Amino acid sequence: MRLSDGEKLALFMLSEIYQKLGVDGEIDPKFIAKAIRSGHTWAIKRKYFWIYGESSSDNAEALKDVLAILVMWDVIEAAYDRLTEPEKDELKRQTGLKEVKFGGFDANNEEQHYSILMFLIYDMDEFSTLKGRNLNMHYPVLESYKRMLAVFKGLGRRLSGRNFNAQELVEILNARWADR
């Protein structure tokens, strides 16, 4: 959703009027105001998709990246939880990871992705399992996630009704390194 400065002002003012009058409708005026204030106007279209029909957004590419990465990590974490303890130990040994959990994005260098992530979790109540986690990695991770995503998608085509096994998880997780 691309809004002109005038449209943003008008929507912001309307949301204030809506709140002041105590209108009880389908649109949440606080959400609208927060989305405009934070620059996440894509969230308005996502939350109220039924108004707009087909979804698109200002930050379409970053939003697409964040959603794909979140789905990938959701699958990875669920598959990891189903492994036996010896499988988990071997996976950690082969990947060098201490834990297998989504760590977020770098808030300083990947601010658009980080901001979208936080807005999805805390303002749109999506991916609620991530609430309370420290999701600022303090170093760029987007490119490593994209490498993992490529392997994830390739392996995912072969799943047909089963979960990733330990070796497939190792393959996905090790893809985060460019030189492996």
Beta-carbon contacts of 76 under 8 Å, excluding residues fewer than 6 positions away, are: 100, 102, 152, 164, 169, 172, 173
86 within a domain of the structure (yes/no): yes
> What local confidence, expressed as pLDDT, does residue 55 receive?
45
Q: Would you list the DSSP string of 82-147?
A: TS-HHHHHHHHHHH--S------B-TTTSHHHHHHHHIIIIIS--SGGGTTS--B-SS--HHHHHH
Q: Is the pTM of this model over 0.95?
A: no
Structure tokens at 77: 């974490």
CATH code of the domain containing 146:
1.10.3190.10
> How many domains does one find in the chain?
2
Please indicate, yes or no, whether residues 23 and 101 belong to a single structural domain of this protein.
no
- Provide the domain limits for residue 18: 5-52
Residue of 73, 98, 94, 84 lying closest to 174 (CA atoms): 94
Q: Token pair 């749109």 is at which residue?
A: 124
Please indicate, yes or no, whether residues 99 and 24 belong to a single structural domain of this protein.
no
> What local confidence, expressed as pLDDT, does residue 180 receive?
55
CA distance 20 to 35: 18
Query: pLDDT per residue over 93-144, tens digit each?
Result: 999 999 999 999 999 999 999 999 999 999 999 999 999 999 999 999 999 9
